[in-house]
Amino acid sequence: MPQIDYYSQPADLRLNSEALTDEQEDALRSFTWERVLAGEADLDSYLEWAGDEFPEQEEQALSQAFATVCEARRAQIASWPPELRSTALMTAFRELAELGIVARGNFSCCGTCGSSEIWEERDDSRSWRGYVYFHAQDAERIPDERATYLGYGVFLDAYLPESEWNALSDEAKDQTYTRLVTELMAEAATVFERHGIEVEWTGDLAVRILLKNVDWYIEI
């Protein structure tokens, strides 16, 4: 279990609005906390979500709720000991980057978009061999499940020229890609496990990697 609770509201957090009943206050506070946990830091974006969920509430009340919860979350994070502000998963992701593996959390909206957009995350600092990521829908489940699935793959241009790849038969391409991904994910698994994260994967490229015993949060 984590040494600190990364997800629960402060016990004394309340919205200051006389216009809200106790039930309304609790519902709005809980909704807003969940949005902030998901990394929502833009007021206009929050108002779109909250306006749909609480159409009876004035925009001013929603804006005040967002400001109150954001302030509480920032204060909560600031109160954590510095050595505990990086979770095991965050630390593992940084180590993967040193190995040439792009590692992103809460990345993109879904797996389809993530697998396409991850290619743009490479920079010129090193040779990037591959990637792992979990998307926004995965991130929303981590507080309750303390687990997440990872999308993954390799950047073929880090291994062989395009002309050499194109010269391979379809069967050879499949075998080569499977071997490269399997080898790279074995490296990644070693990093995760060293930080106490459980890794479940059969090696089937059609199945995402499951990580257990993970925590992740987003500073706002």
Q: What confidence tens digit (pLDDT) does each residue in 75-105 have?
A: 999 999 999 999 999 999 999 999 999 999 9
pLDDT in tens, 37-73: 998 999 999 999 999 999 999 999 999 999 999 999 9
Domain that holds residue 123: 88-212
Residue partners of 106: CB distance under 8 A and separation at least 6? 38, 39, 134, 135, 136, 138, 139, 216, 218
Q: What is the pLDDT of residue 18?
A: 82
Please indicate, yes or no, whether residues 71 and 143 belong to a single structural domain of this protein.
no
User: Is residue 207 in some structural domain?
Assistant: yes
User: Is residue 220 in some structural domain?
Assistant: no
Please indicate, yes or no, whether residues 124 and 75 belong to a single structural domain of this protein.
no
Does residue 126 surpass a pLDDT of 70? yes
Confidence of residue 2 (pLDDT cuts 50, 70, 90): low
Residue partners of 166: CB distance under 8 A and separation at least 6? none
Contacts 24+ apart (CB under 8 A), 30-34: 32/65, 32/66, 32/69, 33/9, 33/69, 33/73
Please indicate, yes or no, whether residues 73 and 137 belong to a single structural domain of this protein.
no
Q: What is the pLDDT of residue 107?
A: 95
Please indicate, yes or no, whether residues 122 and 171 belong to a single structural domain of this protein.
yes
Please indicate, yes or no, whether residues 69 and 129 belong to a single structural domain of this protein.
no
Residue 155 amino acid letter: F
User: Is residue 219 in some structural domain?
Assistant: no
Q: What is the mean pLDDT of the chain?
A: 96
User: Is residue 130 in some structural domain?
Assistant: yes
Q: What is the pLDDT of residue 201?
A: 98
Q: Is 71 helix (H, G, I), strand (E, B) or coil?
A: helix
- Percent of the chain, pLDDT > 90? 94
Residue partners of 134: CB distance under 8 A and separation at least 6? 104, 105, 106, 107, 148, 149, 150, 151
Q: What is the pLDDT of residue 91?
A: 97
Q: What is the pLDDT of residue 1?
A: 45
Q: What is the mean pLDDT of residues 184-197?
A: 98
How many domains, in total, are found in the chain? 2
Please indicate, yes or no, whether residues 75 and 172 belong to a single structural domain of this protein.
no
Q: What is the mean pLDDT of residues 183-196?
A: 98
Please indicate, yes or no, whether residues 205 and 163 belong to a single structural domain of this protein.
yes
Please indicate, yes or no, whether residues 111 and 180 belong to a single structural domain of this protein.
yes
Q: What is the pLDDT of residue 7?
A: 97
pLDDT in tens, 191-201: 999 999 999 99
pTM of the model: 0.90
User: Is residue 183 in some structural domain?
Assistant: yes
| Per-residue tokens: 115 | 């697998």
